[in-house]
Structure 1
């Protein structure tokens, strides 16, 4: 059953990384001013 925990861990890590990328796209990166953004 170790593979079940491994798959859950990898899935959770991928989900967190995707949510983090989405959060940064919406809120901007640290130290980035508004006039430097292209959108």
Structure 2
């Protein structure tokens, strides 16, 4: 039965990593858009 917790732990770790990458990518996109908007002024 230990393998259920192992599989769930791996799944949670992978999900956390994927969500973290998506969050960082969205921050970079927003930062670039904000910088482009300030340059256009």
- Give the TM-score taking structure 2 as reference length: 0.67
- The structure richer in helix per residue is 2
CA distance in 2, matches of 1:21, 1:11: 15
Question: Which runs of 5 or more residues in structure 2 are unaligned?
Answer: 36-41
TM normalised by structure 1 equals 0.70
Q: How does 1:9-20 map to 2 (within 5 A)?
A: 9-20=9-20
Q: Which has the larger radius of gyration?
A: 2
State the 4+ residue runs in structure 1 displaced beyond 2 angstroms. Answer: none
Distance in 1, matches of 2:20 and 2:6, equals 21
Q: CA RMSD in A?
A: 1.4
